[in-house]
A and B are shown apart, each in its own frame.
Chain A
Amino acid sequence: MNRKNEKSALGRRKFLALAPTGAVAAAAGAALLDSETRHDTRLSQDALPPLVADSYLTDAEKALVSAVFDRLIPADDAALGASDAGCVAFLDRQLAGPWGLAATRYRAGPFKPGTPEQGDQSPFTPRERYRSGLKALETRCTKSEGKGFAQIAPERQDAFLQDMEAGRHGPDGKAFFEMMLQNVREGYFADPLYGGNKGMTGWKLVGFPGARYDYRAEIDRPGADLGLAPISLMDRG
């Protein structure tokens, strides 16, 4: 990149960020773009993936999530189970980050239940839903099975989760089940960058080559077994 452009682009961005409001003709809080800024080819400050290494769940919660996730995606000869694939760590980081705080969700009231077509109207964040949802799950299981979820037999665990999925634990139980199912799938199939999909096990299971960016050679081989090993964004760091 042209050094002159780099300097001027940086200078302008800094200037706009620091200029006293109203001191210039431009709106200081808006980003003014012109023929200099467009030549800036460095990555934007927020261009890199939003990686979070923090934790939100307690150890007991992680153990419970682990037991649930391993029924949703169990280990078999073809690929790892969810917890070995890192899905619990994935979820924990997601909860610790902006997603856990429902950063993008519309959260203004009033809150009313609405019709099924109007979708989820919950006022709670994913963090709050996991905290209360896991507690409700464990309480219910202890009451009906005499033991915590992680302690009962796999067949009983499956029956318990089937009830939850079918709405027999009430609408909140069903909604929480759907959230866990979505999240475990995310952890299993997202780029390993986010803490799950260890060894790209999920991608190998289905035959997805991952973060490849060019199939111009392969499109000329329709229906062929391409034998492409998956690639992660992490490999490119």
Chain B
Amino acid sequence: MSGTKTREKADVVIVGLGWSGSLIAEELTRAGLNVVALERGKWRDTATDFPPAIDMDELRWATRRGMMQPQAVETVTFRNNSEQEALPVREWNCFQFGWNVGGAGTHWAGMTWRFNPWDFEVGSKVRQRYGQAETTPGLQLQDWGITYDELEPYYDRFEKIAGTSGTAGHLNGSIKPHGNPFEGSRSSEYPTPALKDTRWMGMFRETTTAMGYHPFTIPAGNISSEWTNPLGVRMGPCTYCGYCEMFGCGNWSKSSPQACVLPALTGRDNFTILAEAEVLHATLAEDGKTAKGVVFIDANGQRWEQPADIVIFTAYQIDNIRLLLLSKIGKPYDHKTGTGVVGRGYAYQTISGANLFFDDERFNPFIGAGALGVQIDDYNADNFDHAGLGFVGGAGIMAFSTNGRPIGMADSVPQGTPRWGAKWKQAYAKSYQTSATIFNQGTSFAHRDVFADLDPTYTDRHGQPLLRVTFDYNENDRRMAKYTMDKAVEIGKKAGASRIEPFNSAEGANTPYDQRSTHTTGGAVIGADPATSALNRYGQTWDVHNVFVVGASSFPNNGGYNPTATVGALALYCARGIIEKYLDTRGPLVEA
């Protein structure tokens, strides 16, 4: 295929059409802009690609991950520290890139959390309450440059688009029963009521209530009743089928770009999707201060230029970092000097908890939903006094009922049981119905020695360098995970488990094959200071004013929650910034 062809110029080009891309496209096209969205995966929709005749197939979607982008297309290289040589992550792992229009928003579980107000201001709040001495050396605690209160209207809008199920715990300044009393104040109730309890959720709720904690139903994008969202799109009630995370939803009950945004968006004349089109990088004007557009390759291998006045990266977190580096936008983080911003602030999720075995229970684990669970936030964020504990942050402690898929659960037998043979078979037949998990989803903070940059050796199928991830847990993570793990053990005992097996992902070295969490964050973070953030609060790059970036890559630190609702709120905030401010000024929205 010879040469590069050029498409007609657009007002806006969006790179990656998941939640962020589709939410921003909806706002910008409604404001009258001409938007072209490029997505390297295929068009996938509810009726055509994951109806109930196809969806309930564990082998295809969960074990073989049929909905996800293969490593053969792109992977990362990984190492625990900068002394090691990074090697490619060759097989399915914790990085779950989307591989279709809808992105990871098609195969996500559906937990629709707002971060705690504290999460947005960890830098100043930790200094105020504890002083720097309490934190682990090297932690990069910094504020987001935007507060929870400023983001609240955008969380609210996202929840209404998504139809989120839940019970408010903090509504217009008042604490409400049955909700999460630690959440930031909400301006309205959840769009749809909370989901119902399974047997295990009920036990956890009863036990933690008796212990003086404050259990509540996890806000869910597996919605509990019919809902018509502000875009006029209708959703149906969740059937508790237990095929959510790693699956599409055949019921229009799981919030996703397909179920919630694209039906309204694709009918607009000023919106175009080019699927199976992979963006290589943005191209900069000669002065280096603006971008001219992006270069992409279509399914035939033809190279194209898509000129645009505004370029928005809304790819997977890893790819947003990589696209900035490949486009030479922003100063790359230099680990030796600790300077530079692109690749700085990488974080993950710190997981601990306890596997429980009961003598005589029938949990019916197959009754589930990706976000079905009960949680306490008593040990999340800064909801408890950390004085003398030696760490900051915490974890949401949850009892989930996501699924009972039997290939994935086959190791759910008491430790010491053989992993095969007659004894395993008998043990699994019992523990399938009698085991449960308390899962602590913990905060993760950026650290000086953790970062992402371009790999010097390994490339993707187009010859572009892979992103190299250098990550390991730090002492703050280990202490927090141990502390909350001990809480999970106490709850397990009170709940009557006959056998309790605690786990702590942060105890040893991190590996991307630990599948307990997929939530990698940061690397192109928002902030108030160009020396420590790649983007301002609107997601605009400090150096190239017509390039915006939105994703979990924007988080300066990860909360003890799933990232999606915060990504959605940041996307809507970015879009309003473009419409209300950038279109007039065509310059930096925040002075550096």
Contact = CB atoms under 8 A, between A and B. Distances in A.
B590 interface: no
B90 A105 contact: yes
Contacts of A117: 78, 80, 509-513
A27 B80 CA distance: 41
Nearest to B361: A223
Contacts of A220: 196
Given A22-B302, A27-B304, A114 B367 contact: no
B71 A104 contact: yes
Nearest to A121: B87
A40 B277 CA distance: 21
For the side of the interface on A, what is the size category? 35 or more
Contacts of A34: 266, 272-273
Contacts, number: 268
A236 to B, nearest CB: 6
A73 interface: yes
B230 interface: no
A231 to B, nearest CB: 9
A219 interface: yes
A190 interface: yes
B407 A213 contact: no
B505 to A, nearest CB: 12
Given A47-B49, A76-B425, A220-B196, A29 B298 contact: yes
Contacts of A37: 43, 266
A190 B275 contact: no
B48 A41 contact: yes
Interface in A136-157: none
Contacts of A116: 511
Contacts of B289: none
Interface in A53-80: 71-74, 76, 78-79
Interface in B58-105: 58-60, 63-66, 70-72, 75, 78-80, 84-93, 101
Interface in B336-388: 361-364, 366-367
A189 B410 contact: yes
A31 interface: yes
A208 B432 contact: yes
A33 B363 CA distance: 44
Nearest to B364: A226
A79 B429 CA distance: 10
Interface stretch (B18-26, B415-423, B522-530): B415-423
B71 A185 contact: no
A107 B72 contact: yes
B199 interface: yes
A195 B268 CA distance: 45
A181 B459 contact: no
16 contacts: A27-B7, A27-B298, A27-B304, A30-B38, A42-B48, A71-B421, A76-B425, A79-B429, A105-B91, A108-B458, A117-B510, A161-B420, A185-B407, A211-B56, A211-B57, A223-B363
Interface of A: 21-22, 25-35, 37-38, 40-44, 47-50, 71-74, 76, 78-79, 99, 103-108, 110, 112, 114-121, 158, 161, 165, 181, 184-186, 189-191, 193-194, 202-203, 205-216, 218-220, 222-226, 233, 236
The 3 closest A-B pairs by CB, nearest first: A29-B298, A29-B300, A104-B70
